[in-house]
Amino acid sequence: MPDDAKKKLRSSAWFGKQDREGFNHRAWMRNQGLPTHLFDGRPVIGICNTWSELTPCNAHFRRIAEHVKRGVYEAGGFPLEFPVMSLGETLMRPTTMLYRNLASMDVEESIRANPLDGLVLLVGCDKTTPALMMGAASCDLPAVVVSGGPMLNGKFRGHDIGSGTDVWSMSEEVRAGTISLADFMEAESCMSRSAGTCMTMGTASTMASMVEALGMGMPANAAIPAVDSRRYVLAHMAGRRAVEIVHEDLRMSKILTREAFENAIKVNAAIGGSTNAIVHLLALAGRVGVKLDLDDFDKLGHDMPLLVDLRPSGRFLMEEFYYAGGLPAVLRELGTMLHQDALTITGKSLGENNASAPCWNREVIRPLDKPLQEKAGIAVLRGNLCPDGAVIKPSAGTPSLFRHRGRAVVFETIEDFKAKIDSPDLDIDETCVMVLKGAGPRGYPGFPELGNLPLPPKVLKKGITDMVRISDARMSGTAYGTVVLHVSPESAVGGTLALVQNGDMVELDVEKRSLNLAVDDAEIAKRRAAWKPPAPHSERGWVKLYAEHVMQAHQGCDLDFLVGNSGAAVPRPAH
Ligand code: FES
């Protein structure tokens, strides 16, 4: 590389100096056995790793990082791996979503404070993908995102079982008395058979697909199983590409355009992706200054056909999706419905990347003229119950419930729900509307995945498997049902949801995009005047900072002061 090109690299402010400062920056690094030539001005690629044994879905990431390093070295770069806060969906309480923005701050500040020219972001379990992309986007260096890949299919008594989705259905069967608790416990050891993320089209697979649809990942990033050797080839090639994009100055903001987000929204509909993608894409768009709002998800997505037959909306799992052609086949199939000229991390357009992507199984990936469902996008609802919006994923619901008027059965908190739901005395039947409060971004705190409330046993025993449920919560991407989510404003800030009482009538009309509390305005105003906000969850630390600054669901739940980006100018010298 010519000397003048070397000088442009950000890392030269640390490693390029022939003085005491430069000595200090290099000398301590050498205790890792790094030879002199690595400090000669080549691109320094930070491998941002969310490995953690507390995040089982990302527990194989040290091996992935080694393959990224091979690619970086091969292309003449200098890889340096660093850890950031990891967010394990299955262990963290009260919810990983409480920490997405905290992790993004860790990522942003770790990048800006260090001698990095480009990045490879290793992401997997749900929130690690948006957290790393948001933090990196606020620095706007060239970056490639590498997802960890899904687990192999779960196998239980000769059948495939999928992460989350089959846990929900089997636990409902236990409550209905149709399978035994012993059977359910046996399934526990059969579901997660390999390294990787949930192998349903849950939030992890959705976000891995968003990475690819946005153009931030290498082609096929979404679906290669974690243990498939091709996942490691992809990591290797991503490492190579990270060096090249530093030379090309291909920053995240050049990829993350309005067109890229429009593609992501449409692809999310076509794959039956998670409603969680809404809050993550809104927050990411906010970091790069792309104007995106909740209504875009309905406007752009609602006409999209569902092409991918994966649980929870369909039958198959991510392994079959990959063998059928994976996301490249979907991106090609969608043709002009997408901005095929959108630039991607490969340096080529989305269309060029996927022009010859084959489909090997038309059961798993349907052709455009034979979709699983015609209009599969997320519907955004409005009405006096959700003036700032609420969402429902029709592909995971029951069409006969999409127009429904029912009596509200209200649960003030999730603890209230748990205390009452199994009681034979609970006054509820399948025509009722279950309403949960206190599960929004500020109320829980952290916006948990509680929206798909389990049904009462007395309803389940009739063989009924779905009811209308409404809350200010999110829902796991692996879950399903006629579930209205993300009600905004949430109950904890005095949204109308806070004012719903047992016996009120609630009206849902998905076709008309409406959700209303059939109570007159004067009565609502009277209840509002008597409403008192809940006490804060904490008077110190992160939870206090979070509660004071988190934005509502329709705005993506970023902290208000994190919106936008600060670039990655070299900070003042280390002292
Ligand atoms: Fe980690 Fe699903 S729990 S990806």
The DSSP result for 334-358, as a single string, is: TGGGS-TT-B-TTSSBHHHHHTT--
pLDDT of 5 reads: 47
**Is it the case that residue 106 has pLDDT exceeding 60?**
yes
Distance 82 CA to ligand 1 centre (A): 22
Q: What residue's CA is closest to ligand 1, atom 2?
A: 198
Contacts of the segment 184-187: beta carbons below 8 A, 24+ positions apart: 186/156, 187/154, 187/156, 187/161
Distance 102 CA to ligand 1 centre (A): 19
**268 pLDDT tier (thresholds 50, 70, 90):** very high
**Is it the case that residue 2 has pLDDT exceeding 70?**
no
In tens, the pLDDT along 517-537 reads 999 999 999 999 999 999 999
**Is it the case that residue 344 has pLDDT exceeding 90?**
yes
**Is it the case that residue 6 has pLDDT exceeding 70?**
no
User: Strand, helix or coil at 449?
Assistant: strand
In tens, the pLDDT along 348-405 reads 999 999 999 999 999 999 999 999 999 888 999 999 999 999 999 988 899 999 999 9
Task: Please tell me the distance from the alpha carbon of residue 112 to that of residue 569, in angstroms, as a whole number.
Answer: 7
Task: Please tell me the distance from the alpha carbon of residue 225 to that of residue 232, in angstroms, as a whole number.
Answer: 10
Q: What residue's CA is closest to ligand 1, atom 1?
A: 125
In tens, the pLDDT along 139-150 reads 999 999 999 999
Task: Work out which ligand 1 atom sits closest to the CA atom of 202.
Answer: 2
Task: Work out which ligand 1 atom sits closest to the CA atom of 163.
Answer: 2
Among 55, 57, 93, 192, which residue has the most ligand 1 atoms within 8 Å of its CB, making it the best to mutate? 57
Q: Where in the chain is the domain with CATH 3.40.50.2300?
A: 42-152+197-262+273-293
In tens, the pLDDT along 27-79 reads 999 999 999 999 999 999 999 999 999 999 999 999 999 999 999 999 999 99
pLDDT of 317 reads: 97
Among 53, 91, 198, which residue has the most ligand 1 atoms within 8 Å of its CB, making it the best to mutate? 198
Tokens found for residue 532? 């008192």
Distance 84 CA to ligand 1 centre (A): 18
Task: Please tell me the distance from the alpha carbon of residue 126 to that of residue 57, in angstroms, as a whole number.
Answer: 9
Task: Work out which ligand 1 atom sits closest to the CA atom of 57.
Answer: 1
pLDDT of 525 reads: 97
Among 96, 100, 125, which residue has the most ligand 1 atoms within 8 Å of its CB, making it the best to mutate? 125
**432 pLDDT tier (thresholds 50, 70, 90):** very high
Task: Please tell me the distance from the alpha carbon of residue 69 to that of residue 238, in angstroms, as a whole number.
Answer: 9
- Span of 179-193, 361-375, 540-554 with lowest mean pLDDT: 179-193
Tokens found for residue 222? 């979404």
Distance 310 CA to ligand 1 centre (A): 16
CATH among 3.90.1170.50, 3.30.750.24, 3.40.50.2300, 3.20.20.450 for 42-152+197-262+273-293 = 3.40.50.2300
**240 pLDDT tier (thresholds 50, 70, 90):** very high
Ligand 1 binding pocket, CB closer than 6 Å:
57, 89-90, 125-126, 163, 197-198, 202, 204
Distance 59 CA to ligand 1 centre (A): 11
Task: Work out which ligand 1 atom sits closest to the CA atom of 124.
Answer: 4
Task: Please tell me the distance from the alpha carbon of residue 448 to that of residue 537, in angstroms, as a whole number.
Answer: 15
Question: In one letter, which amino acid is 59?
Answer: A
For residues 129-154, average pLDDT: 98
Q: Where in the chain is the domain with CATH 3.50.30.80?
A: 379-534
Strand partners, 469: 434, 483
**Is it the case that residue 4 has pLDDT exceeding 70?**
no
Among 52, 86, 95, 126, which residue has the most ligand 1 atoms within 8 Å of its CB, making it the best to mutate? 126
CATH among 3.50.30.80, 3.40.309.10, 3.20.20.70, 3.30.300.30 for 379-534 = 3.50.30.80
**Is it the case that residue 329 has pLDDT exceeding 60?**
yes
pLDDT of 1 reads: 47
pLDDT of 407 reads: 98
In tens, the pLDDT along 272-328 reads 999 999 999 999 999 999 999 999 999 999 899 999 999 988 999 999 999 999 999
Distance 92 CA to ligand 1 centre (A): 12
**Is it the case that residue 175 has pLDDT exceeding 90?**
no
pLDDT of 477 reads: 84
Quick one: what percent of the chain has pLDDT higher than 90? Answer: 92
Helix 276-288 / helix 100-113 crossing angle, nearest 10 deg? 30
